[in-house]
A and B are shown apart, each in its own frame.
Chain A
């Protein structure tokens, strides 16, 4: 397999965003995933979200673990630095990168095997530390790249393509993220582009650990009858709790809803998340209620999607560590090295 560069011929009529960039400027190399793979739709949604928010591509760093899902960062944002690390350990690499430079936007891409099986520990700790990132799990309930074994998000009773039945309890990563203190938790479906793009935009603007569990069917190994992560199954059981619209501080509010139907959440950087409620009694700022709601709906066989929880006053790891405003990777000798004189004084104190 070799890398195929996409011809970058700009169509003169392609619309441009606030940075003067077209959607093509946010694309990456041609995908080598199976045709119809849910992961490709997620890549497309990331491209659209970043384009629409007019994020400078080079200020985004994309990191991933190992798996089909983790291969995708090659297929979007070709102008961004990317890092395909090791299986299940993207969160630590991303955390380190974030420690070094707090000014970049971090997108962590992972799979259900990558995050819920081998990397459950790192997933948990990156979330609970409040690393400022978008952490997206492309959840197909199966190991795609190693050809169809169950993963830790496979539902109880789900059937594999080879006819085996999963007897282990599934891990619900959204519930876990809520428990662990994520300040933004959402679930979406790769087949619902509009919802996903809106959630990605909200997550990208969220100043804290934003987690999105995105159901993303594997057409090669988990799209058959009996699977609970197939396109058909997810479409039939998808229950969205809300629809999100992101409003930047500079934009006027254009979406109009009937009173009572919407909530507006202002984050401390000024961005407003405008939400149209679909489930009347759902309050996205109530962590405990979100957990209870998720559990109840799961028992009812529903796959709840939408923005499940947001803490507009989120704090991040750098706030906790009280690091300087400037990225650590920009500091130089003058402020880092105490110098020869201080060393002589120190020597003297050790005699």
Chain B
């Protein structure tokens, strides 16, 4: 059973001129396989910064604290090593990769994560199955990664990767944004299938409570001004639904 431990994490964003702008002001959080943690916060509170810095995006610098996955200091690992260690980030804004087909991308990623190429015999079926579950047209496999995808297609593609790559810890950054209710249901069902295995821990980042009606969190953390300001169970999400973030903003 895997554990992601975030201790007093301080992160700055690197500005073009080279200065550092502090964003995360000491985050403490422990996510275990089988648990689902919702991180809820207003725009600009640093949610994506948390997600990106754990995944190792070069734009962010860890200036203090630590992130460990099963005791391994994630900071010491390159982006691809982190992914192979079992971290997965479903991005808020997935990136277009022109000229690289979804099929080729997924096979390459699967090979990298598993350390061996998927069996030719079973892979095609596995891919088709994963696409079907997310109600994606088979022709999708031949399209270029994220190129010309609608908002909903991008998010379904991210969750399809989640299902295929089976990470230990998955961070979903505003996966609900830009989704209509049908797409939200399809995406949530994908997440819930992975949850049901009990082998993945989730960090579900969201601004709105809507997605939490489909994916029930075990823990809710309110994120304001680069840190967690309140923690509780699912009932905290309901309180936020009613009260909004105002109360926490003034306190932060």
Does A associate with B in a complex? Answer: no
Write the residues of chain A forming the contact surface with B, with a CB cutoff of 8 angstroms: none
Write the residues of chain B forming the contact surface with A, with a CB cutoff of 8 angstroms: none
